[in-house]
Amino acid sequence: MNRNPIMPFVVIMVMGIVLMFALSFKGLGDAKQVAEEKKDGGKKTEEVAANPEDIYKQSCASCHGDQYQGVVGPSLKKVGGKYSKDQVKDILVNGKGSGMPGGLVAGKEEEMAKWLSKMK
């Protein structure tokens, strides 16, 4: 039997053309989605946590630990005995030193300060 040496190349070419058309149609669908996002101003809305403990898990746990034990940042277990509510709020708003950035819980500083100041 004599096999045609051109056949594998034809099969690869056909598969490439089919793949090119499939990706083109996928790109058209994505282009519509991008256009809709631009109409909205390109801003994504993030779900904001409702209570201070959820806010802590989202914004603070990576540095202060999941059990408030401190990892990169200091332990928060006795922050209420060390700082007043107003001092905690000031730290949340303005940050402290080079390690604690301010504004991580924008709009929720009062609730977080009250919650953290109760930790003793």
Q: Was 63 annotated as part of a binding site?
A: yes
Q: Which letter does DSSP use for residue 117 in this model?
A: H
100 annotated ligand binder: yes
Angle at alpha carbon of residue 56, lines to 75 and 103, rounded to 5°: 95
Q: Rounded to an integer, what distance in angstroms lies between the CA atom of residue 93 and that of residue 9?
A: 65
Whether residue 7 is annotated as binding a ligand: the answer is no
3-state secondary structure of 97: coil
64 is in an annotated binding site: yes
**Residues 6 or more apart from 65 whose CB is under 8 A from it?**
71, 75
**Spatial separation of the C-alpha atoms in residues 59 and 35, rounded to whole Å:** 31
Q: Indicate the annotated binding residues for heme c.
A: 60, 63-64, 100
Q: Indicate the annotated binding residues.
A: 60, 63-64, 100
